[in-house]
A and B are shown apart, each in its own frame.
Chain A
Amino acid sequence: MPQRREAAIVGINEYPLRVAPGVSSLQIKASCAAKALEDAGLSWQDVDAVYDTGGDQDIGGLGISEYFGFRPSVIDTTYVGGTSFEFQANHASTMIAAGKCKVALITYGSTAHSARRAIGTAGATGIGAATPINNMEDPWGQTLIANYAMVKNRHMFQYGTTNEQFAHISVATRKHAMRNPEAVKAMTDLEFVGVREITVDDVLESRLIAYPLRLLECCMVSDGGGALVITSAEVARHCKKKPVWIIGTGEATKYRENGGDITLSAGSQSGPVAFADAGVSPSEIDVLMAYDSFSITVMCLIEDLGFCPKGEGGHFVGDGHLAFDDPRKPALNTDGGGLSSNHPGQRGIFLLLESVRQLRGESHSQVQDAKLAVAVGNGGQLGSRHATGVTILAAD
């Protein structure tokens, strides 16, 4: 089956700072948008489709379009947490293939660090909206990290996965981060203790945040943002950079379910759909950009997308073969991930950006002859309600 060549990512930009005081999320978006268009060799006036979660501007997609100054024929403000950008990229590729738009811009910006948003350890405030979800979770004091920790605990109970095995995810990711100057600056600016490569023991000796998750298994809280440009095959031919094609897409959701298996993410549904759509198999993938909010998120996504059988993720990650320079595939989170490079709240866009760098040959931890990459995001909370968007990308 020939790979699809209908929509391609042709322009990318990642905001260089993770600590950006005095800058708004909107300004981050506009800055990244201009640079992503420049990267593509397209102009501000070429944009006819706006993809943004719209959360930082009144009246959502209308407000953000006015702020930018675009006159889009397509607006999509799909918001499903951190994987919103895989969902949006997938939707953009479909709309472009259908001829509804030609140049789609996806934007993200956040000042989570500078605004001192306590994300992982905040838990319920008891002042949010009166919703069924809030009313049925707030009184017991679940923090976001504890939600993921419950999944890790069950994974260890059900499959015998060890803390040592989980730690390899953090070790490989940090190795990549140390090769990425922006990640090194991020860890320095955020005052990480020890901006250096880490060992399994470092992870095991870091402090418990929510048993059984330790500090070095948890992502940072940074400022940041990014933008990417998706266009048609026709327009892509005239762009500055070589196109990175969207060849397979999948989206799914999962909830707390009576009798359900909490270790099984929505990726168990959207992964196989995306691979069937692309006509490729997990064993062919060179680069896996898997949402690393926490070590357990990566473990579940690796298994659920079929890189190994369910429950065998511990063995799969446990021998350190996730590094960019290991001949075994795939390399994991070669930009340094949310654990060690960039996590302003919704990391999904960075999964796509680094996938594109790899398929262009522009990564700081370049996988040799990378031809196929998977960006798999996870939004919401893994242990309760979450979404998993999968975007499979290919170089010519």
Chain B
Amino acid sequence: MPAKRPQPRFPEPDTEPFWEATKHHELTYQTCDDCHEVVFYSRQHCTGCGSNNLTRKVSQGQGAVYTFSVVMQSRHPAFAELGPYAIAYVDLDEGFRMMTNIVKVNDPVADIQCGMRVKLCWEDQGEGEISLPMFEPA
């Protein structure tokens, strides 16, 4: 059985709702009802104005690669056995930037470019478990 990736740990009340939603394949972000700031990662307060009046929304999962790197050497067993893999920041069309992986490419160095359009996909880890949001070429 392949080694499991490092998992988020709970209780952690800010990010738990985000990860709960991934069980239903929902990528969520927040907007502030008071100042309209787009908040990511998930928090109880708005990073723009401190308000607690945040609304959680589900992203359409469409965006563009802002930047990326291809990891050639990683000591964690789950990644060491993957071979070269792409870590990236993706800018979602709703206005938030998230860390993620770009997957479903043959050669991550050659096949990924900054600015490239990507769409959400999910890496399920098992029944009832959180799922990992990733991106593939759109």
* C-alpha gap A383/B99 in the complex (Å): 11
Residues in B neighbouring A257, C-beta threshold 8 A: 97
CB distance from B121 to the nearest CB of A (A): 13
Residue in B15, B73, B98 whose beta carbon sits within 8 Å of that of A135 in the complex: B15
Instruction: Of the listed stretches A15-23, A31-39, A138-146, name the one at the interface; the rest are far from the partner chain.
Output: A138-146
Instruction: Of the listed stretches A71-79, A147-155, A363-371, name the one at the interface; the rest are far from the partner chain.
Output: A147-155
CB distance from B30 to the nearest CB of A (A): 11
Given A123-B74, A157-B115, A141:B85 Cβ within 8 A? yes
Interface membership of chain B positions 1-17, coded 1 if the CB is closer than 8 angstroms to chain A and 0 otherwise: 00001111111101100
Residue in B6, B42, B82, B91 whose beta carbon sits within 8 Å of that of A124 in the complex: B6
Give the size of the chain A interface in residues (CB under 8 angstroms): 48
Residue in A142, A213, A260 whose beta carbon sits within 8 Å of that of B87 in the complex: A142
* C-alpha gap A289/B82 in the complex (Å): 38
CB distance from A372 to the nearest CB of B (A): 35
Given A130-B11, A140-B132, A143-B71, A262:B19 Cβ within 8 A? no
Question: Is B100 an interface residue, CB under 8 A from the partner?
Answer: yes
Given A125-B6, A134-B8, A141-B79, A157:B67 Cβ within 8 A? yes
Residues in A neighbouring B66, C-beta threshold 8 A: 154, 262
A262 B6 Cβ-Cβ under 8 A:
no
Given A124-B6, A126-B5, A209-B73, A140:B101 Cβ within 8 A? yes
* C-alpha gap A319/B11 in the complex (Å): 53
CB distance from B111 to the nearest CB of A (A): 12
Which residues of chain B in 75-105 are interfacial with respect to chain A, using CB atoms and an 8 Å cutoff? 75-76, 78-79, 82, 84-85, 87-89, 91, 95-101
A146 B114 Cβ-Cβ under 8 A:
no
Given A126-B6, A146-B87, A258:B74 Cβ within 8 A? no
CB distance from A143 to the nearest CB of B (A): 5
CB distance from A159 to the nearest CB of B (A): 12
* Total A-B residue contacts, Cβ distance less than 8 Å: 152
Which residues of chain A in 156-186 are interfacial with respect to chain B, using CB atoms and an 8 Å cutoff? 157-158
A260 B75 Cβ-Cβ under 8 A:
no
A121 B67 Cβ-Cβ under 8 A:
no
* C-alpha gap A125/B74 in the complex (Å): 11
A141 B96 Cβ-Cβ under 8 A:
no
Given A130-B10, A131-B12, A257-B97, A154:B67 Cβ within 8 A? yes
Residues in A neighbouring B74, C-beta threshold 8 A: 121-123, 141, 143
B70 A141 Cβ-Cβ under 8 A:
no
Question: Is B122 an interface residue, CB under 8 A from the partner?
Answer: no
Interface membership of chain A positions 102-128, coded 1 if the CB is closer than 8 angstroms to chain B and 0 otherwise: 000000000000000010011111111
Question: Is A44 an interface residue, CB under 8 A from the partner?
Answer: no
Which residues of chain A in 47-97 are interfacial with respect to chain B, using CB atoms and an 8 Å cutoff? none
* C-alpha gap A256/B97 in the complex (Å): 8
Given A141-B78, A211-B109, A146:B71 Cβ within 8 A? yes
Residues in A neighbouring B99, C-beta threshold 8 A: 136-137, 140, 142, 256, 384
CB distance from A71 to the nearest CB of B (A): 40
Given A124-B76, A256-B89, A260-B97, A150:B67 Cβ within 8 A? yes
Q: Which residue of B lies closest to A142 (CB)?
A: B87
B9 A135 Cβ-Cβ under 8 A:
yes
Which 10 A/B pairs are nearest by Cβ-Cβ distance? A126-B6, A149-B69, A135-B8, A130-B9, A154-B67, A211-B70, A138-B6, A157-B114, A146-B69, A141-B79
A contact residues vs B (CB 8 Å cutoff): 118, 121-132, 134-143, 145-147, 149-151, 153-154, 157-158, 207-213, 256-260, 262, 383-384
Pairs across A and B, CB under 8 Å, 12 listed? A121-B75, A124-B6, A136-B98, A138-B5, A139-B7, A140-B100, A142-B71, A153-B68, A157-B115, A208-B72, A260-B97, A383-B67
8 further contact pairs, Cβ within 8 A, besides A135-B9, A211-B84, A258-B40: A121-B75, A123-B79, A140-B5, A157-B67, A209-B72, A256-B99, A258-B95, A260-B97
